[in-house]
Structure 1
């Protein structure tokens, strides 16, 4: 990849007032394609780093696509990046370049962060859409600052709305509160269950990667017990646990009378920590071990990381998960929608074939969910889907 063309001048505007987005100058960024190992090393200090943008994760999760780690530079300094996954379409009809939860900013606090994001998008358009003739598909993350969300900027630049998660709410705990304020923020019923859990003799422990086997056993037993088909990315965990301390997920356990009753894997790097996987045994529910575990994880993240937020993920449509996570988010946190996928192509054929492929994939996914619900009623969602305009609160 090379320096972006002269048409990306510093005076170029990336939005219009008619869209409701403020006018800003878009900087011309340089791009650099790096190896997967170098990519993971460099993005470890990014504010917006996330599991989906890790090369180690992506090659294990989506081995059939081409992975292109792209760094963006301004005046020689790395300001952001995007792991692009180039997916060929059937019958050689073209390619889709996917950025899942990208492009990422290295420093979200810089005053020109929105303009840097716009510059990264322009660079992707110039290479993947204009030069290669591919459709670009970007899935932005749920924002904690609606005034600086990526999706409105993408719409203003000409990206079109694509697929959206069936249950797109993300539940995000505010880690910037002190312990007293955090506890007060919890919803009353959640705080009640936490108080109960603290009186039954539970203990919390932070474990090293050498104990992953204990979590594997707990997780496998839980999925077997619930008879759920596991469509998660759990098979990537072993690879993630080989990463260095800065990127490797953290492992936590809760014990009762010497027995492990609950565990969790947490991605803790960057501005936003993320709950990846949890597992419990039959004894955990009456002990309220989940409340105890997450409360102590919140405290550990606040004291041991630079994360300002703790992303609990979604619900997959289950009312019980919604109530649990909503109560933990409390009055101080945020419930926001993951925006729809944003698609862009420089020519109509690339857009037609790209969106057609996504539509076919969505149909197959919905059919699989219906079949799973028919085979096992426990997998049927119990939560009403939010509308496209709901904020989740």
Structure 2
């Protein structure tokens, strides 16, 4: 059925109004084992939860009578012009969510005027994505050994990518127990219950059988289960490297002639060292809570990293964004822009590229509404005067409280 321009499987619920509406709908469109991959994280999911609750630690502080009726959300990230400070984050094996997932993100991002960071583990190759794109996007690299990194960097450059995001927080794969409990492994474990669950999602199963876009096409050629398992093995054996160090970052800086960002930075001293080596930006990220459980939430780490970088490079935030006001808080605390991952997967699961477009449009509308209510015209005007830690009161508030209680 079609409603509101999308292919809804849940018309009775009406059009989704928020990212959380998309999340609930997405959970019904894919089998449980796939949902465990989309929504899961490491160990007890403390960091997954912390990425969300960290935004509750801050209040917004609005000004009134500001007199703004238009807003400027545009900026540049990694040299790329974007219509708002929101890019899609690199998420691997998007074909598990929907066979066209990587292309869905590209098409949607371009329609709303922003860009994607394409994953090494995309289910469409770098070359296929570049051919489908109408604009320039960024490439995310799992560096691995120098030889593997060099090949991927050459391919990315030849395909037209000029911005490289190097993920540095995967010296080993996190303990994702939720995925393992649902049979997501190498190879996946299929039980009668899991096969019945797949049968309850015939559209998803049909797309998997027909298109066979479930593996990492940059890591292994071909389609289907065999190629998918081979790509996962390549990723875990050759791209996950515990010996990766700062000399490797220096080598990548010397050999990549475009914008270079490090993704997975949580400490101020690491951010400073990266900038000293010549990187153009850092992404404050804990890998969506999928690596070290108990790691500091991204938003909590952001202010100290932004202060340490002190404008010498861009600072981006990844993790936990579900509202336009979340974006506003991140910008006020020092981020130049944010990356969103799971929300885009929710959109593609529900309605393909139109779903991703709607997710990004919801965020844009919420940012614009939030800026109006905050009394701010330009996203570049946001600073820490617009936020306050929750649960704290300044001396003036305490004096007023004392007067009103007398």
TM-score normalised to structure 2 length: 0.27
TM-score normalised to structure 1 length: 0.27
Q: Which has the higher strand share?
A: 1
* Higher RCO (C-alpha 8 Å, min separation 6): 2
